[in-house]
Amino acid sequence: MSKDIHKTAIVSSKAEIDEDVYIGPFCIIGEEVVIRRGTKLISNVIVEGDTEIGKDCVIHPFATIGVAPQDLKYKNEETGVKIGNKNIIREYVSIHRASVGGDGFTEIGDSNFLMAYVHIAHDCKIGNSVIMANAATLAGHVHVEDYAVIGGLVAVHQFTRIGAYAMVGGFSGIGQDIPPYTMASGARAKLYGLNAIGLKRHGFSDEAINSLKKAYKILFREKRTLKDALKKIKSDLPETPEIKHLIEFIEKNKRGICR
């Protein structure tokens, strides 16, 4: 048990807390919780249920992690939350444990930045280096891939996916999958081109960006069906890792692709 626990914190004797974890004033830690080394809970943080938090995370006041999902079907079944390393979780963020409709865990990867009032519902899967701005809200079973950026006050419909390196503008409503590498915005979100500046900032080569631009044009500007557009991309463009991922993402869609 870590010795760096404030005297006003309530920490279950059954919780697994690494030696150099900091738990600040008025935090409440349940008996099934695991917190790894270097993580700091600044104050007034509640962590309960089968929840594991990785190394070197910083969790700000009034965040709640691992509480029961907002799902009327949930009847206190054994589900949990898994959070990776080096995440920044700001004030009033809520991360709910899974329901019984998924694989049992809500999961968050490494190096994510979740700004104030972000909500991550049951069974969501968040990759690595994702940025979610203030009050961005994910309904249940949403998947967000690595390096996606979600603007403030965005609402994402359940079972929707947001692809890698995509950028979603603030005040948007997301009801269909946002393809990787693209930009989307709007009350009923529409695509607004490739996230070219973001890709350059992340070190994508000019060749990779140009190939993605060609793929985007085929998919969304040539008035083709998705099936026909994918067929043309496969025949006309080199199978770079980016093109391969874009094709696989679109082929796996269930809610439809934002156009």
Q: Annotated catalytic sites, by residue? A: 122-123, 140
Residue 132 CB: number of other CB atoms within 10 A? 28
The string of DSSP codes covering 21-90 is -EE-TT-EE-TT-EE-TT-EE-SS-EE-SEEEE-TT-EE-TT-EEEEPPS-TT--S-S-EEEE-SS-EE-
**CA distance linking residue 39 with residue 257, whole number of Å:** 38
**Which tokens hold the place of 56?**
């070197």
**CA distance linking residue 82 with residue 84, whole number of Å:** 7
The C-alpha R_g of the chain, in whole angstroms, comes to 20
**CA distance linking residue 24 with residue 168, whole number of Å:** 34
In this structure, are residues 240 and 208 in contact, taking their beta carbons and an 8 Å threshold? yes
In this structure, are residues 172 and 157 in contact, taking their beta carbons and an 8 Å threshold? no
Q: Which residues lie below 8 Å from residue 137, measured CB to CB, with a gap of 6+?
A: 118, 119, 121, 154, 155, 156
**Which tokens hold the place of 16?**
């697994």
